[in-house]
Amino acid sequence: MAAKIWTVAVVGCGVGRLHLAEGYARHPDKFRVLALCDLDPARLAAVGDEFAIPRRTTSFDDLLAMADLDIIDICTPPTLHGAQILAALAAGKQVVCEKPLAGSLAEVDRVIAAERTASTRVMPIFQYRYGDGLQQAKRIVDLGLAGKPYIGTVETAWKRGAKYYATPWRGRWDTELGGVLLTHAIHAHDLLTYLMGPIASVFARTATRVNPIEVEDCAVATLELASGALASLACTLGSHKEISRLRLCFEHVTFESTQAPYAPGDGPWQIVPGSPEAARRIEDALADHHVVPSRFEGLMAAYHAALTSGGALPVTLADARQSLELITALNHSAATGAAVSLPIGADHPRYRDWRPAR
Ligand SMILES: NC(=O)c1ccc[n+]([C@@H]2O[C@H](COP(=O)([O-])OP(=O)(O)OC[C@H]3O[C@@H](n4cnc5c(N)ncnc54)[C@H](O)[C@@H]3O)[C@@H](O)[C@H]2O)c1
């Protein structure tokens, strides 16, 4: 029997257009996009026409009332995410939501509590997990073949200028909620924890040097992972050559991504075994590996499989919380000049707001 085709509404036609182009449109046997929502009628019409979406609305609430809609995919600016997720869960919809999932750890914990009692689930977006190079590395790690993690280096060196910051919500603490750490490097930092595990402690420095904005556009940090491994993060929006790069050294293997800035999961990753025995075990492990498509195409295929089977979602609220816990710790460290330990709970001074005091 053919798997169910899930019906979708996309809210927000910026990156929402990419969810359509790279995600839903590549899987017509898995998803049907019934509705599109944006406050901007011109964007709504252009994207609606491009993907022949039958229903268009400027009202999010209209989507909540559509009984034949399974999934609401939220691609609005960051300060709207928490309330829109909670409303969609309350209406019985499956929810997909762009990063950052929420505006504080307190808010993400409210979403986690709401999902616990809901009949539906929330999938945060981390599309950079998808791509063949990274998924091969993930398989090797998950099978226990990589051994003890030693050290990770993660670079996010992108370029953003005046045109990007012309969008009014960008560049300000009130509306973007953060800078390069929250909006850009959040992806590569998720990849670090996806492959090397949770973080125990951070020390960070941030600076605003590239653009005339409030939020940081350069940052560095040193991390101690829960395993005892170490990692360094470096990110900027002022790199004239754009790259994303992960280099992860484990006991039995060293992984190095390509430098593709916006598809770091894509292959080929360099996978360098530490011994002939490790090489043989890795070769055996990858013998039946199927190519994993890149970015939203791979993520949405995995999402459909999880919805249909009821199995674990490819990205979970726990993953989103982990990424926002790192943001909270990095911002607190940069503001105080001190190392910050994780986990961060409700008693932490930045639990309700990771932004600097203004
Ligand atoms: N995963 C990624 O690679 C990626 C890339 C870009 C942006 N993002 C994230 O996606 C989100 C949106 O970013 P963007 O670049 O698309 O921004 P954008 O400003 O280009 O697009 C957001 C759209 O949402 C619409 N909108 C605003 N309020 C709305 C409301 N109440 N109801 C319906 N529509 C509304 C706006 O009119 C706008 O068209 C942000 O959280 C951003 O961080 C993720």
Q: What does each of the 358 residues of the chain score in pLDDT, given as a tens digit?
A: 688 999 999 999 999 999 999 999 999 999 999 999 999 999 999 999 999 999 999 999 999 999 999 999 999 999 999 999 999 999 999 999 999 999 999 999 999 999 999 999 999 999 999 999 999 999 999 999 999 999 999 999 999 999 999 999 999 999 999 999 999 999 999 999 999 999 999 999 999 999 999 999 999 999 999 999 999 999 999 999 999 999 999 999 999 999 999 999 999 999 999 999 999 999 999 999 999 999 999 999 999 999 999 999 999 999 999 999 999 999 999 999 999 999 999 999 999 999 987 6
Separation of CA 13 and ligand 1 centre (Å): 7
What CATH topology corresponds to 6-125? Rossmann fold (3.40.50)
Q: Could you tell which of 11, 15, 44, 79 is best to mutate to test the pocket of ligand 1, judged by most ligand atoms within 8 Å of the CB?
A: 15
Helices (H), the chain: 15-18, 41-50, 60-64, 81-90, 105-117, 132-142, 162-165, 173-176, 186-196, 276-286, 295-309, 317-336
Q: Report the pocket of ligand 1 as residue ranges, CB < 6 Å.
A: 11-15, 37-40, 43, 60, 75-78, 80, 98-99, 125, 127, 167, 183
What pLDDT was estimated at residue 358?
A: 66
pTM of the model: 0.98
**Is 214:163 a contact under the CB 8 Å cutoff?**
no
Provide the 3-class DSSP secondary structure of residue 273.
strand
Contact partners, residue 351, CB within 8 Å, separation at least 6: 104, 105, 106, 328, 344, 345
| Secondary structure string (H, E, C) spanning 17-29 | HHHHHHHHHHCCC
Tokens at 65, concatenated: 């009332």
Closest residue by Cα to atom 14, ligand 1, is 14
Between CA 267 and CA 133 the distance in angstroms is 4
Separation of CA 96 and ligand 1 centre (Å): 13
**H or E segment at 202?**
strand 199-207
Q: Which residue, among 188, 183, 217, 221, has the nearest Cα to 202 in the 3D structure?
A: 221
Between CA 36 and CA 72 the distance in angstroms is 10
Closest residue by Cα to atom 7, ligand 1, is 15
Q: Which ligand 1 atom is at minimum distance from the Cα of 15? A: 16
Q: Which ligand 1 atom is at minimum distance from the Cα of 84? A: 31
- Burial letters for 299-308: b for 16+ Cβ neighbours within 10 Å, e otherwise? bbbbbbebbe
Separation of CA 99 and ligand 1 centre (Å): 10
Separation of CA 268 and ligand 1 centre (Å): 31
Burial (CB count <10 Å: 0-12, 13-18, 19+), residue 55: middle
What CATH topology corresponds to 128-309? Dihydrodipicolinate Reductase; domain 2 (3.30.360)
Q: Which ligand 1 atom is at minimum distance from the Cα of 37? A: 33
Q: Which ligand 1 atom is at minimum distance from the Cα of 126? A: 1
Residue whose token pair is 């600076």? 207
Which DSSP symbol is given to 128?
Answer: G
Between CA 222 and CA 5 the distance in angstroms is 45
What pLDDT was estimated at residue 166?
A: 98
Q: Residue 5: left (phi > 0), alpha (psi -120 to 50), or beta? A: beta
CB-hemisphere CA count at 13 Å for 6? 24
What pLDDT was estimated at residue 114?
A: 98
Q: Which ligand 1 atom is at minimum distance from the Cα of 100? A: 41
Domain ranges of the chain: 6-125, 128-309
**φ and ψ of 234, to 5 deg:** -140, 130
Identify residue 64 by its one-letter amino acid code: L
Q: Could you tell which of 76, 164, 315 is best to mutate to test the pocket of ligand 1, judged by most ligand atoms within 8 Å of the CB?
A: 76
Q: Are strands 122-124 and 149-159 parallel, antiparallel or unpaired?
A: unpaired
Q: Which ligand 1 atom is at minimum distance from the Cα of 40? A: 37
Q: Are strands 238-250 and 253-256 parallel, antiparallel or unpaired?
A: antiparallel
